Structure formats: C-alpha cells, structure tokens
A and B are shown apart, each in its own frame.
Chain A
Amino acid sequence: AQSVTQLGSHVSVSEGALVLLRCNYSSSVPPYLFWYVQYPNQGLQLLLKYTTGATLVKGINGFEAEFKKSETSFHLTKPSAHMSDAAEYFCAVSLFSGSARQLTFGSGTQLTVLP
C-alpha cells in the first residue's frame, strides 16, 4: 500500500522568505514522487518529479525537492517566495504493480504569500 502525507494544510510565508512544504510517503518499493501545483480556477500543473538518479530535483518556477529515502520524505522548497506562488500544492506518489498503476495524492497544502 502507498500513502502520502502532507504536513500542514495551510502555510503562510512572507514575500521573499523561504518556502518549505512537507511531504512524507509510505511505500514498500521505491516510488516515483511528484509535486503538482493548482492555481485558482485551473487544473494541476506538474512542478517536478523524482524517478531515479539525482535525489535533488529542480522544477519550474524556482522550486526544488529532495528525495530522502531514510526519512521517506520529498519536501518542496523555494528560496524566495513570490506573490505568484500563492496556490495549492499537491504531493503525489506513483507505484507500479504489474500493468496497473496510479498516482496517490496528498491532501494538499494551500500556500499564502504575504506582502
């Protein structure tokens, strides 16, 4: 079984401050991990993904995430928040099982950026 836990349903940061959105997963096999962003009234967009290789993954809009197997974490960070980063962020894990697979999403974290 696989699950994804996002700590904190709401996170507020000041413009220019560090953004840290937490994600922990549970999986019996090495997972593929994703971060998606959903802006108001829009569908989801892929921010970044980890499959294999380098554990520090860089995505769009200055975001990056680090896969830490020992901590079963895949936290999303951005050094300096911008007002346009205000959105809801979803962590997701994908597990292959034969020919059937699916993404399991976390419950989401709403990021507010304060001026």
Chain B
Amino acid sequence: EAGVTQSPTHLIKTRGQQATLRCSPISGHTSVYWYQQALGLGLQFLLWYDEGEERNRGNFPPRFSGRQFPNYSSELNVNALELEDSALYLCASRRGGIRNEKLFFGSGTQLSVL
C-alpha cells in the first residue's frame, strides 16, 4: 500500500512568488492535514480538510490556502511568499471518523524562499 505522497520534494521560490504543494493521501483516507515545520519552531498546524471541505485552520495568514479534490488529494497554496515561509511542509492523512486518530505523514516538501 502506498503511503502519503507529497510533491515536489524540494521547491525554490523567490519572495513574492506563489508556491503550490501537493499531497496524495493513502487510499481510503478522506482527511488531509497540513503542517509547517519551520526551523526551531516545531510543527505548526496549518489546515485540515475532510470530505472536500476545510474543517479547521491554524493561526496563519489568508495567503496560506488550500483545497481538497474529489479524489481526496490536496493542494496547499502559499501566495506572496515571504522569507519566513521557508520550511518543511508536511501532509498527513487518516481515515474519516472522529475516533480514528492515527495519522500517516508524508516525507514533506522543503520550501526555500530566496
């Protein structure tokens, strides 16, 4: 069974550009989470999608947005990139159902903003 896959592995952008990060959950998983791991800050919750809808978002500005497609894959978009957006972005998925806690994580996309 394939795990959570993220693309691209590395992404280099310049300040002011837009970045699009992609995530494919494990087959059968309907919930997708996005996390940002900036150096020294640990994991910060970004967004949670379930059944195609945004269920919750963390304390990030509106230029961080995303969507979930009918096949449950997801995109994270970051507009007007700033230097401090440089981080590892992790996607995680799980089966639907409020009691199922186990998250499976992808290997992440390393975003570098120059």
Q: Which residues from chain A sit less than 8 Å from chain B, CB to CB?
A: 32, 34, 36, 41-46, 49, 51, 90, 92, 94, 96, 99-108
Contacts and interface: CB of A to CB of B under 8 A. Distances in A.
A85 B86 CA distance: 27
A106 B106 contact: no
B4 A43 contact: yes
Contacts of B98: 96, 99, 101
Given A41-B107, A43-B90, A102-B56, A49 B102 contact: yes
Nearest to A41: B107
Interface in B51-98: 55-56, 58, 90, 92, 98
Interface of A is mostly: strand
* 6 closest A-B pairs by CB: A107-B42, A105-B43, A43-B105, A44-B105, A43-B107, A100-B56
Given A96-B98, A99-B55, A43 B106 contact: yes
Interface of B: 4, 6, 33, 35, 40-45, 48, 55-56, 58, 90, 92, 98, 101-108
Contacts of B106: 43
Given A43-B108, A94-B101, A107 B48 contact: no
B53 to A, nearest CB: 11
A23 B4 CA distance: 27
A107 B101 contact: no
